[in-house]
Structure 1
Amino acid sequence: MKNENFKLSELPYERITIESFEKEALEIVKDFNAAENGEEQFLVHKKYYTLIEKVSTTMILATLRHDGDVSNKFYEEEQEYYDEISPKIESFKVKYQKLLFDSKYRTYLENKIGQVPFKDIEIQLKAFDDVLIPLKQEENALTSRYNKLVAQTKFEFRGETLNLSLLGKYLKSKDRPTRIEAAKVRSEKLLTITDELDEIFDKLVANRNSQAKAMKYDNYVELGYYNMKRNSYDKNDVANFRNQVKEFFVPLASKMHEERRNRLGLEKLDFVDEGVYFLEGNPIPIGTADDIFAAGKKMYSELSSETNEFFNFMLNHELFDVLGRPNKATGGYMDMLMLYKAPIIFANFNGTSDDVDVMTHECGHAFQGYLTRNYEIVENNNITMETAETHSMSMEFFTDKWMDLFFGNRGDDYRKMHLEDAIAFIPYGCMIDEFQEIIYTKPELTPDERREAWKQLEKEYKPHLSFKDDEFFGDARTWQMQKHVYNWPFYYIDYCLAQTCALQFKIRMDEDHNDAWQKYIAFCQESAKDYFPNMLHNAQLKSPFEDGFMKELVQKIKL
C-alpha cells in the first residue's frame, strides 16, 4: 500500500493513458503464454491484479473529482478521456480472462482462484466483444451527458439556487404548502429539459439494442443480464420474484400507505406526500454534519470492534465526500481505491434523514470492502450487485438501535419510517425493473408509448398514488430522474432482492442481535466466494427466488 498517512483530497492524480496501459497489458499476456505451469501463470495473474488496481484507482479518483464539481474543466476532460478508452481496457480484460478460461493449467487455477470466477468469465465472454467498442464509447458519452444535465439543472426556490439534491429538504418539508411549492418549482424546471431527456434515452435504447444485435441476441435484455453478471439466476427468476411482489407485497405496502395517509390527515396521498411519514415532519438529524460524524463514530465504536476500526480508518483518511454543493453530481455511492486499500463514500448531505442513511447504507458497502480489502484472490471481491446491496441495506437495520444518537427523542420515529420506507421501496424498484424489461424488449417504443407503459405499471405497483397538477411526474416521467435507468440498466432489481434479504436479517436481529451480526459478518467475508443463493443459505437466510418466499416474509414483518 502507498503512504499510510494519505488523505483523500490530497491523493496525487496522473492520467493513465491507453498507450501505457496497452504496453503493460501486452507484457502480461506474453508472460502468461510463456508460463510453464499453473503456479507460474498465477504469478503472472497477480501482475494483472496490480495493473487493474492501478487503472481502476486512477479512474475512480477522476470520476470522484468530476462528480464533486461537474463544472471543473480538467476533470471533465479526464472523464471524457476515460469514457473513450474504458471500452478498450474492457477489451483487454475480456481477452485476458479468455486466456485464463482456456488455460491448459485451468484445474490448478480453479483450485487457486475458485470456480465462481470462471463462471463469471463465461458470462463476461457473452457480454463483450471488440465489435462493441464504438457503441460502448457512444453509450459512455450519452450517460455522462445525462449525468451532467441533471447535475447542472438548478432550481430557484425562495431566494436560493439549489441543485436537485439540495432541493430535497423542501420536498420533504413537514409543511405541505412548502412541499407543493417545491414540487411545482422542480417540475417547472424539469419540463424545460424533457426534450433532451427523451433524446438521450432514445439514443441509449437504440445504442443498447445495436449492442445486442451485434452480439447476436434478440434484444438487450439478455445482454443486460450478462452485463450485470447474473451468475445464479435469470430473467424468469426475476419475473417470478416481481409477481410475488405484486401478489403479496403490494397489498402490504398499500396497507402501510393507508396508515401513513391517516397519520398525515389527508384524504388522498399525492405525489408531494411521497417520502413524508409524520404530520410533524420526518425526523431530521440533530446538529451539523460534524455532529452526524460524531454520532456515527460512537455508533460504530459500540456496534463491534470491526466497525470501530473501519470507521476510524475512514475518518483518519478523510474518505467521505458527502457535503452538498451546487455543482456536485446527484446521488451517492461507495467505491474502492484498491491501490490504497481504501473505501470512499460520495453523497450529498441535504439536512434530511438521508444524511444518516449515508452513514448506514454507504458505510455498509464500505465496511464490507474494508473487511475484504486484503484478499489475495481479487476475484473473491467481484461481488454481484444484489450481494453488495444486501451488505448495505442490512447495515441500515443493524444500526437502527443507535438512531437516538442522530435523532434524539425521535429515534423511534426514524425506526418506524425506515421500516416503512423499506416496504414502500420494493414495489417501486420492481416497477423500475419491469419497465426496463418492457423498454428493451420493445426498443421501437416512442417516448409517449414508454410513458404509457410506465402509467400502467404505476397502477399495478403503486395504486395508492395520485399526481395532482404535476406536469412532469404526472406525465409518467418519474423514471427519468432515476439515474440507474440511464446509467446502469437492470441494476435496480438488485436493491429489491437485497431489501428482502435485509428484512430477513432484521427479523433475525430482533430475535438475537449478536447472532444475526455474526452471520452478517460471515456473509460479508464470503464476499464473492460462492453464489448468492448459497451464501444466503450459509447465513441461514432464504433466497428471494424460492417459492413461497414473499408470502412468508410478509407474514413475519411487523409494522
Structure 2
Amino acid sequence: MQNENFILSGLPYERITIEAFENEASQIAKEFNDAKDGEEQFLAHKKYYALMAKVRTAMILAGMRHDGDVSNEFYEAEQEYYDEISPKIQSFEVKYQKMLYNSKYRTYLESKIGQVTFKDIEIQLKAFNDVLISLKQEENALTSRYNKLIAQTKVEFKGETLNLSLLGKYIHSKDRKTRIEASKIRSEKLLTIADELDEIFDKLVANRNAQAKSMKYDNYVELGYYIMGRNSYDKNDVANFRNQVKKYFVPFASRMHEERRKRLGLEKLDYVDENVYFAEGNPIPVGTADDIFAAGKKMYSELSPETKEFFDFMLKHELFDVLGRPNKTTGGYMDMLQLYKAPIIFANFNGTSGDVDVITHECGHAFQGFVTRNDEIVEHNNITSETAEVHSMSMEFFTERWMDLFFGERADDYREMHLEDAIAFIPYGCMIDEFQEIVYTKPELSPAQRRDVWKQLEKEYKPHLAFKYDAFYGDGRTWQMQKHVYNWPFYYIDYCLAQTCALQFKALMDENYQGAWQKYYAFCLQSAKDYFPNMLHNVGLRSPFEDGFMEELVEKIKL
C-alpha cells in the first residue's frame, strides 16, 4: 500500500488522460513482446497490473464522488470523460489479453497466473473488439443518463424533500395508510418520467442489439453472457435453474407469503405491502448511524480475528460513504481501490433495516476483497459476480447472531424477516433474468409489449401480488426501478444463484456454526482461482445447476 495513513475522503484525485494511458500501455506491450522468456513477460505483466490499478482507482474515485453528489459539476465532467474513454481502455485490455493468450511462453504464464485466467481471456475476446467502441460510448452515456435521472427524482412528502432512497422509510411504514400515501406520491412522480425511462431503455436495447450484430451474434443474450464473464455455465443452465425455481420454489414462497398475509391481517397482499413483514412494522435499527458502526465493530471483533482486522481497517481509513443525501444516487455497492489495496462501501442509510444490511452484505464483499488483497496475481481476484454475491449474502446469515446489537428486543423479528426476504427474492430475481432474456431475444418489442411481458412473468413468479394502490408499478414497470436492468444486463440472476448458496451455508451453520464459518472463509480465499461449481464442491456445497438441487434446498429451509 502506498500510504497506510490514507482516508477515503482525503484521497487525491487526478484525471487519467487517454493519452497518458496509451503511452504507458504501449510501452508495456512492447516490453511484453520483446521479452526473451516467460519470466520477463511476467515482469512486464506486473507493470500492466500497476497501470490498471492506477487507472481503475482514479475511475472508481471519480465515479463514487459523482454518485455521492450528482449535482457536482467537476465529477460529472470526470464521469462523462471516463464514459467516453473507457471503451478505448477496454480496447487496449483486450489486445493485451490477446497477446497474453497467444504467448509462446504461455505454459510458464499459466503456472504463474492460473489456467482459469486463460479461460477468462478466451471469453473476454468474445465480448469485445474495437468495432464496439462507439456503441459502448453511447451505452455509457445512456446508463449515466438513467442513473442521474433516478438520483435527481425527488418527492415532497410530510414536509420533506426526499429522493427515492430516503422515501423508503415511509414506503416501509408500519402504518398502511402511510405506505399507500407514500406509494401514490412515488407513483405519481415516476409516471412523470415514465416516457423518458422507456426512451432510455429503448435506446439501450437497440444499442446492445447492434453490439451483438457487430460481433456476429444472433442477439445480445450470447454477448451479454460473455460480457458477464461466465466461464462455467450458460443460458441453458440458467434456464434449468429458473425452471426448478418455478416448480419447487415459487409454491414454497407463495405459502410463506400467505402466512405473511395472515400475520399482517390483510385480505390480499398488495405491492405497498411487499416489503412489510409484521403488523407492528418491520424492525428498525436502534440508535444512530454511529451506533450502527459501533455495533458493527463489536460484532466483527467477536466473529473472527480476520473480521476484526478487516472492520478496524475500514473504520480507520473511513472507507464508508453511507449517509443519505438529496443529490446522492440510489443503491449501494462495494468496490476495490486497487492502488491502496482497500475496499470501499457506498450506500444510502434511510432508517430502515437496510442500513444494517450494508454492514453485513456490502461488508461481505469487502471482507473477501480485504483477505485476498495482497495476492500478487490480480487475476485471482477477477471474481465472477455469482461468486462475489455468495460472499455477501452468506455474511448476512453469519452475522445474524449479533442482531440484538442492532435491533434490541426485535432481533428475532429481524432474523425471521431476513430469511423470508431471502426466500421472496429468488423468484423476483429469476423474473428479472427471464424478462431480460425475452427482451434481448426480441429487441423489436415496443415499450408497451415489454410491460406486457413483465405482467405475464409476475403471474408466474409472484402470483400472490396485487397492485391496487400503485399505478406505476402496476403497469408492468417494476423492472424500471431495478438499476441492474439498465446498467448491468444479466447480472441479476447471479444474486439468485448466490442466495441459494447462502441458504446452504445457513443450513450448515444451524448444525455447526464454526465448521460452517471455516468453510465460508475457505470459499472466500479461493477467490477466482477455480470455477464456481468447483469452488462450491471444494467446501461441501452443491451447485445450483444440479438437477434436484432446488427440491432438496426447499426441504432444508426451516421457516
The normalised TM-score by structure 1 is 1.00
* 1:470 Cα deviation after fit: 1.9
Equivalence for 2:343: 343
Q: Distance in 1 between matches of 2:36 and 2:5?
A: 41
The residue type paired with residue 134 of structure 1 is S
Q: Distance in 1 between matches of 2:60 and 2:277?
A: 36
Partner secondary structure for residue 334 of structure 1: strand
Partner secondary structure for residue 281 of structure 2: coil
* C-alpha contact 2:187 2:472 (8 A) present in aligned 1: yes
Partner secondary structure for residue 165 of structure 2: helix
Q: Distance in 2 between matches of 1:93 and 1:444?
A: 33
Cα offsets for 1:325-362 (capped at 9, x unmatched): 00000000000001001000000000000000000000
The residue type paired with residue 499 of structure 1 is Q
Equivalence for 2:144: 144
Cα offsets for 1:1-25 (capped at 9, x unmatched): 2111111000000000000000000
Aligned pairs (5 A) from 1:210-289: 210-289=210-289
Equivalence for 1:492: 492
* 1:279 Cα deviation after fit: 0.3
Equivalence for 1:360: 360
Aligned pairs (5 A) from 1:118-197: 118-197=118-197
Q: Distance in 2 between matches of 1:188 and 1:318?
A: 38
The residue type paired with residue 387 of structure 1 is T
Q: Distance in 1 between matches of 2:403 and 2:11?
A: 33
Equivalence for 2:91: 91
Equivalence for 2:303: 303
Q: Does 1:453 align with 2:427?
A: no
Aligned pairs (5 A) from 1:31-46: 31-46=31-46
Q: Distance in 1 between matches of 2:155 and 2:368?
A: 37
Equivalence for 2:381: 381
Partner secondary structure for residue 403 of structure 1: helix
Equivalence for 2:324: 324
Q: Distance in 1 between matches of 2:471 and 2:267?
A: 21
Q: Distance in 2 between matches of 1:305 and 1:409?
A: 28
Cα offsets for 1:123-157 (capped at 9, x unmatched): 00000000000000000000000000000000110
The residue type paired with residue 498 of structure 1 is A
Aligned pairs (5 A) from 1:376-415: 376-415=376-415
C-alpha change, 1:450 and 1:332, in structure 2 (3 Å) is same
Partner secondary structure for residue 467 of structure 1: coil
Partner secondary structure for residue 466 of structure 1: coil
Cα offsets for 1:246-269 (capped at 9, x unmatched): 000001100110000000000000
Q: Does 1:431 align with 2:431?
A: yes
The residue type paired with residue 550 of structure 2 is M
Q: Distance in 1 between matches of 2:314 and 2:377?
A: 24
Aligned pairs (5 A) from 1:437-516: 437-516=437-516
The residue type paired with residue 87 of structure 1 is P
* 1:31 Cα deviation after fit: 0.3
What runs of 5+ residues in structure 2 fail to find an aligned partner? none
Cα offsets for 1:423-479 (capped at 9, x unmatched): 000000000000000000000000000000000000000000000042100100000
Cα offsets for 1:379-430 (capped at 9, x unmatched): 0000000000000000000000100000001000000000000000000000
Q: Does 1:50 align with 2:71?
A: no
Equivalence for 1:314: 314
The residue type paired with residue 230 of structure 1 is R
Q: Distance in 2 between matches of 1:45 and 1:112?
A: 11
* C-alpha contact 2:270 2:469 (8 A) present in aligned 1: no
The residue type paired with residue 413 of structure 1 is D
Cα offsets for 1:63-115 (capped at 9, x unmatched): 00000000000000000000000000000000000000000000000111100
Q: Distance in 1 between matches of 2:504 and 2:3?
A: 41
Which of 464-473 and 168-177 deviates more?
Answer: 464-473
Equivalence for 1:100: 100
Partner secondary structure for residue 339 of structure 2: helix
Q: Distance in 1 between matches of 2:221 and 2:155?
A: 36
Q: Distance in 2 between matches of 1:540 and 1:299?
A: 26
Partner secondary structure for residue 335 of structure 1: strand
The residue type paired with residue 406 of structure 2 is F
Q: Distance in 2 between matches of 1:557 and 1:398?
A: 16
* C-alpha contact 2:272 2:469 (8 A) present in aligned 1: no
The residue type paired with residue 555 of structure 1 is E
The residue type paired with residue 185 of structure 2 is V
Q: Distance in 1 between matches of 2:421 and 2:13?
A: 39
Equivalence for 1:2: 2
The residue type paired with residue 400 of structure 1 is E
Partner secondary structure for residue 166 of structure 1: coil
Q: Distance in 2 between matches of 1:24 and 1:40?
A: 17
What runs of 5+ residues in structure 1 fail to find an aligned partner? none
Identity of matched residues, %: 83
The list of structure 1 runs, each at least 4 consecutive aligned residues, that deviate by more than 4 angstroms after superposition, is none
The residue type paired with residue 402 of structure 2 is W
The residue type paired with residue 378 of structure 2 is V
Cα offsets for 1:514-551 (capped at 9, x unmatched): 00000100000000000000000001000000000000
Equivalence for 1:526: 526
Equivalence for 2:78: 78
Q: Distance in 2 between matches of 1:7 and 1:319?
A: 7
Equivalence for 1:333: 333
* C-alpha contact 2:335 2:345 (8 A) present in aligned 1: yes
Q: Distance in 1 between matches of 2:189 and 2:264?
A: 28
Partner secondary structure for residue 336 of structure 2: strand
Q: Distance in 1 between matches of 2:88 and 2:151?
A: 28
* 1:290 Cα deviation after fit: 0.2
Q: Distance in 1 between matches of 2:113 and 2:120?
A: 12
The residue type paired with residue 186 of structure 1 is R
User: What is the RMSD computed on CA atoms of the aligned residues?
Assistant: 0.4
Partner secondary structure for residue 29 of structure 1: helix
Q: Distance in 2 between matches of 1:224 and 1:353?
A: 33
Q: Distance in 2 between matches of 1:232 and 1:119?
A: 10
Q: Does 1:290 align with 2:296?
A: no
